[in-house]
Structure 1
Amino acid sequence: MSNSYGNTYYSEAYNNKELQQNLKYRKKYNKLKKLIKNTVVENAALCDQVAQMQENLIIVKDERLMLLKKLCQLQGEIDPATFLAKSQMGITGSPVQNSDMFTPKKNIKKRNSVEIHAKPKRCTKTARKVVQLIPLDIHGRPIFPISLGDLTVYSLGDVVADRVAYHTEDLIYPVGYCSTRVYASLKDARMKSLYTCKIFDGGTKPRFEIVSDTELDQPLSGLSPDECHSRLLTAISSSLSSIIPKGADFFGISHPTIQNLIQSSPGTRKLSIYKPQKFEISKHSTDRDTSPITEEENDPGLGFSALHRHYALSSSYSIKQESTNHKLLNFQELLS
């Protein structure tokens, strides 16, 4: 009896010890499981935070690039790469100048001599086109539509760099470009009409199109902006064929503000024929006197009011030569 009682006692004690050990390991297992779960959740949160930081970094880079472009425009430089190269050259050259106390004076003399003899470079500043300030979003991108007098631009399109016909030395023809302009109507030259100007992908050469809001089924197409503008003037009246066509101005792709935006688009550096233009931002109100809007208001081929003024003056002049008793011809009779 004593032996059987002792065996049962030891077996129960052993079982209790094993049970306690199992409970101990189970607690460790649950603790490790909870720790792993918290680690996985924390890792996921860190990954989301890294993704958010990368997105913020991309936005900051875009803002930095836009600010750099504005700084380049203010300082007369169009290509940010050249501006960065010059700034890097200035940074790397500073220790060399500080190593010798007399080198700064020599450099100053050389710079003064260069500025004195560099008169042609000063003359090139007058050839820079004045860029008007336009509204921008928080990332520095232009807000569409861009209104510039009678011209309104809705899309800049995409620069085509692999085909030579889509640009010249002075102009770029981006595919998808869209703008509108107010001009004389095709039905009645005394009335205003809204014309939509677009540039399409025509294969080897771009295709230009002008459509009136009153004649949507009769688009005026051509292989160049001047061809479209000439067809528009002829369609309004045969007497307008004497006006020199200015298709690039009518489309708006030669406007300094729009041309600067197109030149800043991706793919412009790959253009083989195009020569980058120099622009400067309008700083004073006097710069508006040289703005292309003033020229368009005085050009009968681009402005509605200028067209009426031009024919009113020419008609009154011719009538005074013939006879003062005749009545002034109206604008519709002049265009008929």
Structure 2
Amino acid sequence: MYLVSSVLQNRIIAMDSKEGIVSKVKDDDYYKRKYKLLRKTVIEIVHQNAALSSEIGRTEDKVNTIKLERKYLMKKLMQYEKPKISSLKSSKSKDNPKSKSKLPKSKKGQNSKGESNTDNAPVVIKVKPINVDQSGRPIFPIELGSLSIYSIGEIIHDRPQYHNNQFIFPVGYCSTRLCGSSQHQQCLYTCKILEDGRSPRFEISPEDAPETIFQSHDIADAYSRFQNDLGSKLHDLSDMDAHDFFGLSQPTVQNLIQSLPGAFRCAGYIWKKIEVVLPGNSGVKSRVKSRVRQSDINIEALEKWARDT
């Protein structure tokens, strides 16, 4: 009897151990499935996070592009809608009836003293269009007779020495001019404007002697040094000043510089009204067409530039 009970007890223990092993295997399978599911979920979340991060980056780029477009369009709007001095004076005279009653009537085109008002009218400088790419950017070099422009540079508007009331000196500006005389061969001279602390550095170097550099923080001084050394041999420089030699007084160059970002923020600079006129056209219609086709105010070119960037 005792033997039978021990055998039964051993069988019961064996069955319990088997059931424990089976339950343990089932628990392992359950946790393995759960681990795989959690691992898959984590991988999906990581991928979604990466996609969202890239989308946020693209959105930030679009916002920055839109900000640049807004500044660009605002600058062009202020350039073409800038109030005239004569209109401001007339508005002041209307606001002050006493001053208006004291002024005698004048003829059309004359002021109260009988003088012509043409001096007060802003002078419109007309220039020919230049070659631009599909996005509206100018194609360099720009050939303007003996002057060639290879880079227009960038404007530093927060340093007073980098502009004055007549000219803006963009950093990175580079031009070449071909000069010579009947006794000497023509030589190519490279003009550069470089950043050098508070003031720009102006450089002039001949192509046949690139190690010879005439430089100064004043454009007139750099040109004077160049003239003292080589200017007497070149008859082409008789009617040129420093700004003419560098090409900064060229209307096409001035139009390009005024189209750069930061040009309108140069304090004290007197803005020049420049119109691009297509060849073979004249009158108001041509000016309107030139404004529509002009690359720097063409909305289609601007949109394409925004897509490319």
Task: Give TM-score scaled by structure 1 length.
Answer: 0.57
1:254, CA displacement in angstroms?
A: 1.8
Q: 1:214 to 1:12 in 2, by over 3 A?
A: closer
Residues 147 and 153 in structure 1, CA contact (< 8 A), matched pair in contact too: yes
> How many angstroms apart in 2 are the aligned matches of 1:230 and 1:24?
89
SS at 2:80 equivalent:
coil
Cα drift, residue 258 of structure 1: 1.7
Distance 1:268 1:282 in 2: 22
State the match for 1:130 in structure 2: 126
What is the rounded CA distance, in whole Å, between the counterparts of 1:198 and 1:272 in structure 2?
23
Q: Distance in 1 between matches of 2:224 and 2:128?
A: 25
Q: Which residue of 1 aligns with 2:148?
A: 152
Q: How does 1:245-260 map to 2 (within 5 A)?
A: 245-260=240-255
C-alpha separation in 2, matches of 1:129 and 1:60: 31
How do residues 65-144 of structure 1 correspond to structure 2 at under 5 angstroms?
68=73, 72=77, 76-77=80-81, 124=121, 127-137=123-133, 139-144=135-140
Question: Is the counterpart of residue 272 in structure 1 residue 267 in structure 2?
Answer: yes
CA distance in 2, matches of 1:260, 1:196: 21
Give the 3-state SS of the residue equivalent to 2:254 in structure 1: helix
What letter is aligned with 1:142?
Answer: P
Moved more, 134-143 or 173-182: 134-143
Q: Return closer, same or farther for 1:175/1:221 CA change in 2, 3 Å cut-off.
A: same
Whether the 8 Å contact between 2:75 and 2:264 is mirrored in structure 1 is no
SS in structure 1 at match of 2:168 = coil
**SS of residue paired to 2:25:** helix
Q: Which has the higher helix share?
A: 1
Q: What is the CA-CA distance between 1:56 and the residue it aligns to? A: 5.2
Residues 64, 20 of structure 1: alpha-carbon distance in 2 compared, 3 angstrom cutoff? same
3-state SS of 2:37 partner: helix
Shift of 1:274: 1.2
Q: 1:35 aligns with which of 29, 34, 41?
A: 41
Distance 1:283 1:241 in 2: 30
Structure 1's unaligned 5+ residue stretches are 80-115, 288-336
**Consecutive aligned runs of 4 or more in structure 1 exceeding 6 Å deviation:** none
1:221/1:157 Cα in 2 relative to 1: closer, same or farther (>3 Å)? same
Contact 2:156 2:262 in 1 (8 A): yes
Q: Which amino acid aligns with 2:31?
A: Y
Report Cα offsets for 1:47-98 as digits up to 9, x if no partner.
23433454455456556765x379649x83479xxxxxxxxxxxxxxxxxxx
Q: Tell me the distance in 1 between the aligned counterparts of 2:157 and 2:28.
A: 73
Q: How does 1:223-262 map to 2 (within 5 A)?
A: 223-225=218-220, 228=223, 232=227, 235-237=230-232, 240=235, 243-262=238-257
Return the alpha-carbon distance in structure 2 between the equivalents of residues 179 and 242 of structure 1: 16
Q: Counterpart in 2 of 1:48? A: 54
3-state SS of paired residue (2:170): coil
Kindly provide the CA deviation profile for residues 159-183 of structure 1, in whole angstroms up to 9, marking residues without a partner as x. Answer: 3444434322111123332101122
The answer to whether structure 1 residue 3 and structure 2 residue 12 are counterparts is: no
What letter corresponds to residue 76 of structure 1 in structure 2? Y
Aligned counterpart, 1:24: 30
Extract unaligned runs of 5+ from structure 2: 1-6, 84-107, 112-116, 283-309
Equivalent AA in structure 2 for residue 181 of structure 1? R
Equivalent pair of 2:163/2:169 in contact (CA under 8 Å): yes
Identity %: 33
Retained in 2: the 8 A contact 1:225–1:247?
yes
Question: In 2 relative to 1, CA 30–14 (structure 1 residues): closer, same or farther, beyond 3 Å?
Answer: same
Q: Distance in 1 between matches of 2:137 and 2:40?
A: 48
The aligned runs of 1:57-68 (5 Å cut-off) are 58-59=64-65, 62=68, 68=73
8 Å contact 1:168–1:273 — kept in the other structure? yes
Distance in 2, matches of 1:242 and 1:33, equals 78
Distance 1:76 1:160 in 2: 22
